[in-house]
Structure 1
């Protein structure tokens, strides 16, 4: 279902449901996230001045709700749920990013959001297409609760050299992220770092070179994380902050405040910073 145009209101009145009939795609993909042809049940493309509210999307074949080439959009009271019923004697975390600000995302405010079994709130992935300049700026995500998430609020970029072909491969792009605020997050049972930047995203199985051999580029500035509470899963240990910037990128103007996410045993979180201007390896300010 795709909408285009101006001055549009889509109102499900609390009971409207879009069913993506995703089970057949879950069975076909068998964990291949970028399988070509997977359907997206709801899309706003080239839309100006629109409201989408009061409905749910279930069993999406791929992403649930996509907005692109659009501006001045309000999304309110939307429920998303996609689960597979065809697993036996297995444990699977099938969630992806709850919200992902893709290249070209600017002037967006997300507030009062609850996510279960997702991959967190993401900027990116960036740098997926060789030679393409990606831009994300003026983003705020606040009052967010994450339960059983893989990550917290994070930024992810591809490696610095193209590997195979997008979407399953990629890399070698550039660009910048600036003016981003993540605040008032409550996190429970997270399996990776709540506060994270990772600059070596890649897909397994395509002979991806070591990140040290193909570091990505990019410029990241004026990004803050504040008022994070909750606890981590035992898988992540105690690392509450993990900022790992490429030696060929610039990470400056980063800040964090009141990060109180404990380990599964109740220990205080630890911090790790690499190539972040103004911080040492323990994320202590150096100037």
Structure 2
């Protein structure tokens, strides 16, 4: 006779859809984080009063549930309360579940965020040369990890880090809220992420990552905060989420100059859909500028971008190497955005002085289609690199309503070429070459057919 928990799992999975006998599909159809074993953080001495430091409790709880890894995994349950903690690591086959009213709070004491080596594809930390602070919640070389809940909250208390950055008093680069390295089969869902010191969700060197139904917020005047940053990752899906940050809401990256070139791991097969994005000082959807491992095969659709400095931005520089290509962005609504579309080859920050300016990036086969904008100040600024133009930039069915303060010229272009059709205001001549045709564009028709299907 089957155990009641197993019977329940099968019934719930069948109710959500047909079971094909595939273990992964069964797990995906079951309620998020269903595991045969469960423990509660209070069993390890944690106190949810917002003042007691619970770092050791989280570390001990994760150490304990590792013993269930070969038994179907375990759930670590965080009940209602305010759970102050420093950095802690996760383990494979684990579900971290935050109940409604549960708030994991990052400690303000920097000693609770250990120092770790910089990422090999970057060569230094985000803010400074040398090492960096460990993120609040970390995973290294893991498989099958779920971070979910009933709209619980993870709050990084980032203001102390923002003040240190502004005052140039940081000793090491700021930490992120959640970071996974060299991991696969990661799900992050049904949570709110607040006040990250730097980036909120950062999968790097990962595959099979799904982020859905999350809310991410930082103060709009916080320095250089980002929402979701897939970095040298493959097979990533971001859906049904709301992100409001200061710098970049969703940013795709793949390493920095010679470090990213040498590491050689691209970001590819990324799907972004049904997201609400706001970025007060940067771009709502950004590519680069750290893209030296390459970025390709990106499909983004049904985006709402509002109250942002830039809408969609592609950034690179001589010395980056790498490429951004085979990108289709479709069905975008922009409102109250200063620069709708940006391509720039002059994002000149480098990790050190040892970059090779002859390492030139390739930017090609970028399609932007079915876009509507209201109160846009500048339709587009497209600036490639001398002797290294950006090619096959394709605009189709784009209609921007310009703000009253918009300059007389809505587009600015140099060192770019491409194709346009049904675009208002009329784009620059570099995108209107009568000798070009839609054949240079990547997957205009085939992607449209795929989206309908």
TM-score interval w.r.t. the shorter chain?
0.7 to 0.9
In the superposition, relative to structure 1, how do residues 85 and 245 fare at CA in structure 2: closer, same or farther (>3 Å)?
closer
Segments of structure 2 that go 5 or more residues without pairing to the other structure are 1-136, 223-243, 255-265, 420-427, 436-453
User: Equivalent residue for 2:331?
Assistant: 184
Deviations 1:227-279 (A, max 9, x none): 1112245xx3xx31222111232422221012112211398983333222346
Question: How far, CA to CA, are the matches of 2:167 and 2:344 in structure 1?
Answer: 22
162, 184, 196: which is aligned to 2:342?
A: 196
Deviations 1:38-90 (A, max 9, x none): 1211112222112110001101101111011110111110111111799xxxx
Q: Which has the higher strand share?
A: 1
User: Equivalent residue for 2:372?
Assistant: 229
Please identify runs of 4+ aligned residues in structure 1 that moved more than 4 A.
Answer: 266-269
Question: How far, CA to CA, are the matches of 1:199 and 1:63 in structure 2?
Answer: 24
RMSD after superposition: 3.0
Structure (1 or 2) with the larger CA radius of gyration? 2
313, 322, 325: which is aligned to 1:175?
A: 322
266, 288, 297: which is aligned to 1:124?
A: 288
User: Equivalent residue for 1:106?
Assistant: 268
CA contact (8 A) 2:245 2:278 kept: no
158, 179, 185: which is aligned to 1:49?
A: 185
2:243 aligned with 1:97, yes or no? no
Question: How far, CA to CA, are the matches of 1:219 and 1:17 in structure 2?
Answer: 40
- Between stretches 260-269 and 95-104, larger displacement belongs to 260-269
User: Equivalent residue for 1:130?
Assistant: none
Superposed displacement of residue 285, structure 1: 2.3
Q: How many corresponding residue pairs?
A: 250
CA contact (8 A) 1:150 1:190 kept: yes
CA contact (8 A) 1:271 1:282 kept: no
Superposed displacement of residue 26, structure 1: 1.7
Deviations 1:135-174 (A, max 9, x none): 100011211111111111120013x3xxxxxxxxxxx221
Q: Which has the higher helix share?
A: 2
CA contact (8 A) 2:176 2:200 kept: yes
In the superposition, relative to structure 1, how do residues 220 and 85 fare at CA in structure 2: closer, same or farther (>3 Å)?
closer
Segments of structure 1 that go 5 or more residues without pairing to the other structure are 87-92, 128-132, 161-171, 207-213
